[in-house]
Amino acid sequence: MTLGILKEQDGEHRVAVTPDSISALNKLGFDAITIERGVGSTAFFDDEAYTAQGAKVADKDEILKNAQVLVRIHPLDAADLAKMKAGQIIIGQFNPLSERTPVENMLKAQVTGFSLDLAPRSTRAQALDVLSSMATVGGYKAVLTAAAHLPTFFPMFMTAAGTIKPAKVLILGAGVAGLQAIATAKRLGSVVEAFDVRAAAKEEVMSLGAKFVEVEGAVDDKSAGGYAVEQSEEFKQRQAQLIHDKAVAADVIICTAQIPGRKAPILIRKETVAAMKSGAVIVDMAASSGGNCELTENGKITYPHGVTIVGDSNLAGSVPKDASVMFGKNVVNFLKLIMIKNELNLNWDDDIIAATCVAHEGKVVSERLKTAMGV
Ligand code: NAD
């Protein structure tokens, strides 16, 4: 059985598996591991680093045709899927709750697709949770991006030329990305406040040394599997006022608040941006799902009212080497579930295997995706 690692689309610098994961893959029982020529070049891994671990270099079409299991972060397009045979397996991060075309293409091609971003929020699934891995990288890079755009220092400086106050950082959303942003902003010496609708986030925020911005009366639905739920209109209004007040006083705002498969909540209105300090920076990691700031433009840096707004949901892609290492480890940990005694074994009673499967024999398996698609 052959495992193939495919190159990503233009503009994506990460690679799905790095050379340091090849030996772990060999141990899982694959007869051969093939990489598409130049697969890791944009993440600073050359082909020789893979071949030194026993991988072989091949052309894309050969891999599409011969590899029983294929790995790629982004989904394949219909033309590539047409070159595959029914039953081949493809593993990646396909964002199926928001992007349906790749799912439909996989169903049509009768391939089996596993999208690791659908992994359940369980302790057992943590080792393969690509969303957490990429959010960790993104939260870190969001703060560094803000620091690079900020016209002032992050830490306090006491110099012969006088004392400079530390930057005030407001983090919106304290999930994996937000917590990493808090930790990074604290390490840089800034004063950090964070806000989340989940009450459970308070303790985590405080344990990192940041202040928790609290709006009373949030719906905290523990049955939602660790995800945020929609809040009432009245709550949203009180929340908006408090965030406005905090935003106006902040030098940096990092936006990470999201609800999976839905439009991101707007937490910063254009009036708030207009009232913010000139030179303040907003890094909006929720940009691809609409952004937490009303003025965010996805994939762009804009300067309304003297505030720099960076709309970037793929900050993990700008730390391609380590982001790829983490993604690769997640892939290996998933493969450990579907490779039993050197053989492929798709055990549909395993909640992780069932939850991540977007396509199998022309049907959607993931219950969450079925609900989202109204199947
Ligand atoms: P996420 O990416 O879905 O959302 C980011 C954060 O935004 C969340 O904390 C969410 O509560 C918050 N948010 C949503 N709407 C908001 C609003 N209107 N205002 C303010 N904040 C808002 O979250 P995530 O990073 O995936 O983490 C969510 C939870 O799941 C966390 O408790 C995390 O520790 C947990 N988690 C568990 C596992 C696991 O056990 N395998 C893996 C990842 C995350």
Q: What is the mean pLDDT of the chain?
A: 95
Which is higher by pLDDT, 234 or 58? 58
8 Å CB contact between 172 and 243? yes
Q: Which residues are catalytic?
A: 121, 126, 129, 132, 227
How close is the Cα of 13 to the center of ligand 1, in Å? 26
Per-residue pLDDT, averaged over 168-185, amounts to 98
Cβ(174) – ligand 1 distance below 6 Å: yes
pLDDT at 268: 96
Pocket test for ligand 1, best of 132, 180, 231 (most atoms within 8 A of CB): 132
How close is the Cα of 195 to the center of ligand 1, in Å? 12
Compute CA distances 362 → 90, 96, 106, 111, 357, whole Å: 14, 15, 8, 7, 11
Residue nearest to atom 2 of ligand 1 (CA): 258
Cβ(229) – ligand 1 distance below 6 Å: no
Residue nearest to atom 38 of ligand 1 (CA): 121
How is 45-72 classified by DSSP, letter by letter? Answer: --HHHHHTTT-EEE-HHHHHHH-SEEE-
pLDDT at 328: 98
pLDDT at 220: 66
How close is the Cα of 257 to the center of ligand 1, in Å? 8
Residue 307 reports pLDDT greater than 70: yes
Calpha distance 219→212 (Å, rounded):
17
Residue nearest to atom 28 of ligand 1 (CA): 175
Band of pLDDT at residue 260, cut at 50, 70 and 90: confident
Q: Do strands 32-36 and 56-58 pair parallel, antiparallel, or not at all (unpaired)?
A: parallel
Amino acid in the structure at residue 93: Q
How close is the Cα of 227 to the center of ligand 1, in Å? 5
Cβ(258) – ligand 1 distance below 6 Å: yes
pLDDT at 323: 98
Residue 375 reports pLDDT greater than 90: no
pLDDT at 354: 98
Calpha distance 105→113 (Å, rounded):
10
How is 132-193 classified by DSSP, letter by letter? Answer: HHHHHHHHHHHHHHHHHH-SS-SS-EEETTEEEPPPEEEEE--SHHHHHHHHHHHHTT-EEE
pLDDT at 238: 87
Residue nearest to atom 4 of ligand 1 (CA): 258
pTM to 2 decimal places: 0.94
